[in-house]
Amino acid sequence: MSIGSLSTEDMGIDAFQENNFINFVIYGIFIIIMPVLLTNIFTAITIDEIQKLIENSEAQNISNKIEFVMKIEKFILNLNQKNKMFGKKSPSERIEFFLIQTIKLKLFFNLFYSLLVLFYNYIRLIHEIIYKLGKFMYEKIEFFNKVLKKYESYKKNQNEIKNNEEIKFEKIYESFEKLDKKLNNLSLEVYQINKKIAKTNESGIKKD
């Protein structure tokens, strides 16, 4: 264990010769010193750990004694208080006292449980009311959103229809303007033709 997998072949010590005498000496010192060093190291570590365990055990023993004494004192104090509370009562009176106290505790716990149930039902009722109110508001908001979307689509359609009508009216107005211009031009042409006819008639009358 102290030399591991080291062998004489690794150190070149196959046979005792004058050339490898130093290797033999080093190998022997290593074999003797290493177990001693390892034993001392492990012993020191073990002693240190045992010393710590002893110190901790003493502290734990003292704390256990203190806790035991405190429990005994508490028990004695409780016993003295009970004796003061009962005084010189008979066993039947003590039993009656215990029964009354038990009934009081039972009534107290029943009342406390009833209050808890009432509080739970109250919280549950508030939760249901808030949930239904939230659901109602959500449905109304969805309804108003749908109505608003329909109104916006209707308004958009009306605007489109109005724009189309305005465009048609503008086109009709432009066509009427063009027609009016044509009629004016035609009336001018007719006037000029009538004027020419009148001149030709006057010239014919003068010749006659």
Query: Does residue 5 have a pLDDT over 70?
Result: no
Provide the residue type at 49 as one letter.
E
Residue 51 and residue 59 in contact, taking contact as beta carbons nearer than 8 Å: no
State the pLDDT at residue 47: 83
How many other C-beta atoms lie within 10 A of the C-beta of residue 10? 9
CA 95, CA 27: separation in Å to the nearest integer? 90
Residue 95 and residue 106 in contact, taking contact as beta carbons nearer than 8 Å: no
- pLDDT, averaged across the chain: 75
Nearest alpha carbon to residue 25 among 34, 14, 13: 13
CA 31, CA 16: separation in Å to the nearest integer? 17
How many other C-beta atoms lie within 10 A of the C-beta of residue 24? 14
Question: How confident is residue 70, by pLDDT bands cut at 50, 70 and 90?
Answer: confident
Instruction: Name 26's Cβ contacts closer than 8 Å, sequence gap at least 6.
Output: 11
CA 107, CA 27: separation in Å to the nearest integer? 90
Sign of CA dihedral 122, 124, 125, 127: positive
Which strand (E) or helix (H) includes residue 155?
Answer: helix 91-207
CA 36, CA 54: separation in Å to the nearest integer? 27
Tokens of residue 110, six digits: 């029943």
Residues 87-125 have pLDDT tens digits of 555 556 666 667 777 887 888 888 888 888 888 888 888
Rg (CA), the chain: 61
CA distances (Å), origin 173, targets 112, 160, 162, 164, 186: 89, 20, 16, 14, 20
Q: Is 124 helix (H, G, I), strand (E, B) or coil?
A: helix
State the pLDDT at residue 191: 77
Question: How confident is residue 152, by pLDDT bands cut at 50, 70 and 90?
Answer: confident
Question: How confident is residue 6, by pLDDT bands cut at 50, 70 and 90?
Answer: low
Q: What is the DSSP letter of 6?
A: -
State the pLDDT at residue 147: 84
Residues 10-42 have pLDDT tens digits of 555 555 555 566 767 777 777 788 778 888 888
